[in-house]
């Protein structure tokens, strides 16, 4: 599991370690990890040219000490400082190693010709969101050069992943001790580039925000026991699609029929049912299920289909509520459910502007999960799965090629199959989303895909996970 801790949790864990270690040792550990990551990017430090952006705190200190390491190894290192006082020992170390530092001046400071990369040490976890004017000017001066952010790209809101003001956009972020929320949650995560974690040996408490890794998904995936039969593996019912939107029914069934539960029932328009069975002959009609998927392509029937599903919910049958059915959900739900809105659908459900949801997806997904007393899967580049108790899992698999019609129908069906197989709504939604993203990446292989390709790639992803 990749855990994302809050600034308060990181500070508390650092305090414990700082009390046990000689002064400066923790920062030295961070700075060496940072320097090594930069060397890996440069190929060789000798003859390289690096520009440090150095703010007033320990984030700037990390940059200065890393710069000293690089300078000792033959790199030309220059620092632009953004405060009257920067980390004194760090600045001394840089100068002693042959590096230079000067106060940034928007009128005259320019990156030296041949600069290979820029290190953003303006602010880290002690920074307020946004950048001061001189930092904005410096950021704009180095446009086009690769940027390595120290701990976080300066200017992002570390604990929420929001970017309410100007910020640095990095190619690589080198962070320390643990991931922070901004590394996983958009829009800040999109400003981090690739995130590299340097271990500091911190002892950390459980985190509310996490991202499943392949080993976690493999452990959670349902797999048939030796005595299994189709009913013990769970039956999922699909109420999706209509004569106007037959494809929604077909794709929801495709997502459910990837072999992760024992049987799939399709309940809907007779003509659609015939087409479903032409493609998926194993699919049967109405009957008892262990989970429902409802909504996509149901149009004017959405409210009635949702009501039918929620009636079964009274006896504990969980459901996935998607697309057209989302508009008919009233809060709070009284049966186990996964809601799967994109930002526009969540906006319509909650009356909040879509742009506000996209600017603060973590806060809005959490609030919706509490309001509806259900798991809310908010779709996005990094999909968020929020539980009513405040826990959030971030999906980091996927590819931009997954932004294609019907991919959401496949996802709903997949999550429904996992619910039917016995996963709880939080696990079903987060595992389903992870597998869906991984299947898209596998199917895409760098090229275009359509929704049915994602469903077709699910068994191969599962096979690799269980191998
Ligand atoms: N603790 C440890 O053991 C370890 C910590 N480590 C490192 O320390 C970093 C945290 O260091 P930190 O606490 O010194 O805070 P930091 O992020 O440098 O910034 C605070 C300073 O910035 C200022 N400021 C605030 N907002 C601003 C803005 N928007 N624009 C401009 N200025 C702004 C604020 O001053 P103020 O304006 O509030 O007077 C304050 O002076 C952490 O991210 C990691 O890199 C590692 O070495 C591992 C060991
Ligand atoms: K930074």
| Cα–ligand 1 centroid distance for 93 (angstroms) | 19
Q: Which of 13, 52, 59 to mutate to test the pocket of ligand 1 (most atoms within 8 A of CB)?
A: 59
Whether 389 has a binding-site annotation, put simply, is no
Beta bridge partners of 4: 179, 209
Closest ligand 1 atom to 31 CA: 47
Residues 196 and 299 in one domain: no
Q: What is the pLDDT of residues 296-321, one digit of tens each?
A: 999 999 999 999 999 999 999 999 99
Distance between CA atoms of residues 232 and 127, nearest Å: 53
pLDDT at 141: 97
Helix (H, G, I), strand (E, B) or coil at 81: strand
Which of 168, 183, 211 represents a domain boundary (last residue)? 211
| 0.95 surpassed by complex ipTM | yes
Same domain, 202 and 231: no
* CA of 155, nearest ligand number: 1
Q: Are residues 258 and 383 in the same domain?
A: yes
Task: Transcribe 291-352 into DSSP letters.
Answer: EEEE-TT-GGGHHHHHHHHHHHHTTT--EEE-GGGGGG--SSPSS-EEE---HHHHHHHH--
- At 2 the pLDDT is 97
User: Cis peptide leading into 332, omega within 30 of 0?
Assistant: yes
Q: What is the pLDDT of residue 269?
A: 95
Rounded to the nearest angstrom, the distance between the alpha carbon of 48 and the centre of ligand 2 is 21
Q: In terms of domains, do 195 and 264 share one? A: no
User: Measured in angstroms, how far is the CA atom of residue 127 from the centroid of ligand 1?
Assistant: 5
Give the chain's residues under pLDDT 50. none
How confident is the model at residue 180, as a pLDDT? 98
> Are 329 and 356 found together in one domain?
yes
Interatomic CA distance for residues 268 and 2, integer angstroms = 40
Same domain? For 6 and 62 the reply is yes
33 lines ligand 1 (CB under 6 A): no
Residue having the nearest C-alpha atom to atom 40 of ligand 1: 57
Determine whether the annotation assigns residue 201 to a binding site.
Answer: no
If asked whether residues 17 and 111 sit together in one domain, one would say yes
Residues 427 and 336 in one domain: yes
In this structure, are 174 and 263 located in the same domain?
no
Range of the domain at 162: 2-211
Across the beta sheet with 291-294, the strand order is 179-180, 2-5, 209-211, 392-394, 384-386, 375-378, 337-339, 319-321, 291-294, 235-239, 263-266
Domain end: 170, 188, 211, which one?
A: 211
Q: Residue count of the chain, please give it.
A: 467
Place of tokens 């001061």: 132
Given 169, 194, 211, the domain boundary residue is 211
pLDDT at 406: 97
In terms of domains, do 131 and 10 share one?
yes
Tell me the CATH number at 354.
Answer: 3.40.1190.20
Looking at residue 118, which CATH number applies to its domain?
A: 3.40.50.10260
The number of folded domains in the chain is: 2
Question: Does 236 lie in the same domain as 186?
Answer: no
Q: Do residues 180 and 260 share a domain?
A: no
pLDDT, tens only, 121-177: 999 999 999 999 999 999 999 999 999 999 999 999 999 999 999 999 999 999 999
């Amino acid at each position: 599991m990749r855990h994302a801790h809050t600034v308060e949790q990181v500070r508390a864990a650092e305090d414990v370690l700082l009390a046990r270690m000689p002064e400066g040792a923790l920062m030295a550990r961070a700075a060496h990890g940072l320097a090594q990551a930069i060397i890996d990017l440069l190929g060789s430090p000798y003859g390289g040219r690096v520009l440090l952006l150095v703010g007033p705190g320990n984030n700037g200190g990390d940059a200065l000490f890393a710069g000293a390491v690089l300078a000792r190894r033959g790199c030309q290192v220059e620092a632009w400082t953004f405060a009257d006082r920067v980390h004194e020992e760090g600045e001394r170390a840089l100068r002693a190693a042959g590096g230079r530092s000067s106060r940034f001046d928007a009128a005259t400071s320019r990156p030296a010709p041949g600069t290979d990369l820029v290190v953003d040490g303006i602010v880290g976890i002690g920074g307020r969101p946004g950048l001061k004017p001189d930092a904005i000017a410096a950021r704009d001066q180095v446009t086009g050069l690769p940027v390595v952010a120290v701990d976080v790209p300066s200017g992002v809101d570390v604990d929420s992943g929001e970017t309410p003001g100007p910020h640095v956009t990095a190619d690589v972020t080198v962070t320390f001790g643990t991931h922070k929320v901004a590394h996983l949650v958009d829009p800040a995560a999109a400003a981090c580039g690739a995130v590299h974690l340097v271990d500091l040996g911190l002892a950390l408490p459980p985190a509310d925000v996490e991202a499943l890794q392949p080993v976690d998904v493999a452990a959670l995936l349902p797999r048939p026991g030796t005595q299994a039969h189709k009913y013990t593996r769970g039956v999922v019912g699909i109420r999706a699609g209509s004569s106007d939107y037959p494809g929604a029914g077909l794709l929801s069934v495709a997502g459910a029929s990837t072999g992760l539960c024992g049987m799939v029932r399709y309940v809907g328009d007779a003509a659609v049912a015939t087409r479903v069975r032409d493609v998926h002959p194993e699919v049967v009609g109405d009957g008892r299920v262990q989970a429902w998927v409802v909504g996509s392509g149901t149009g004017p029937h959405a409210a009635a289909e949702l009501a039918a599903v929620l009636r079964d919910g009274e006896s504990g049958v969980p459901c996935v509520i998607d697309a057209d059915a989302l508009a008919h959900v009233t809060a709070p739900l009284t049966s186990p459910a996964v809601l799967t809105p994109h930002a526009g659908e969540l906006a319509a459900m909650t009356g909040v502007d879509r742009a506000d949801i996209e600017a603060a997806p973590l806060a809005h997904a959490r609030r919706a999960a509490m309001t509806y007393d259900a798991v809310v899967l908010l779709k996005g580049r990094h999909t968020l799965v929020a539980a009513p108790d405040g826990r959030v899992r971030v999906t980091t698999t996927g590819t931009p090629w997954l932004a294609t019609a019907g991919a959401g129908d496949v996802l709903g069906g997949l999550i429904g199959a996992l619910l039917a197989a016995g996963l709880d709504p939080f696990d079903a939604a987060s595992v389903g989303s992870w597998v869906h993203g991984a299947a898209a990446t596998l199917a895409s292989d760098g090229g275009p895909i359509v929704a049915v390709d994602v469903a077709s790639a699910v068994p191969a992803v599962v096979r690799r996970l269980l191998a």
